[in-house]
Amino acid sequence: MCLDNLPQGRFERCVIGAGEASAMICAARADKTLLCVSKDDLLAPYRTKERRRHQELCTGLRASYNCPLRFEDFLTTLDDERTAVQSITPLQVAELQPRDRLLVCWS
């Protein structure tokens, strides 16, 4: 994430509990506004270690904090007439607008 991805103006940085994070994720998923991004191309054959660590993070968040993130949340599906192609949504495409909320989880 770089400053170009953030809107001009003020923003607030805070730490929230697992319950509030889970509620944010569930609400965004229900509103179809959940966008999960990764700096690593987790589908690339040479990124198996990163993919495993990412899956462990999602599993750990779910088991320890009831945080409903799934590996599939980080995928973008592009449909054309013949086939559907999935790709990891890269961190560089994340762009916030005023009043958007950003939740950061990392390992």
Write down the pTM of the prediction.
Answer: 0.73
User: Sign (positive/negative) of CA torsion 20, 21, 25, 28?
Assistant: positive
pLDDT of residue 31: 92
Q: Three-state SS for 90?
A: strand
- What pLDDT shows up at residue 16? 85
pLDDT of residue 42: 85
Nearest by Cα to 21 from 106, 107, 105: 105
Q: Supply the angle between the helices 18-30 and 48-65 in degrees, to the nearest 10.
A: 110
Strand partners, 85: 78
pLDDT digits (tens, 9 = 90+) for 13-57: 788 888 888 898 999 989 988 888 888 888 888 989 988 998 998
Q: Percent helix, strand and coil across the chain, each rounded to 5?
A: 40, 10, 50
Q: How many Å apart are CA 77 and CA 84, to the nearest integer?
A: 7
Mean pLDDT across the stretch 95-102? 78
Res. 61 pLDDT band, cuts 50 70 90? confident
Which pLDDT belongs to residue 102?
78
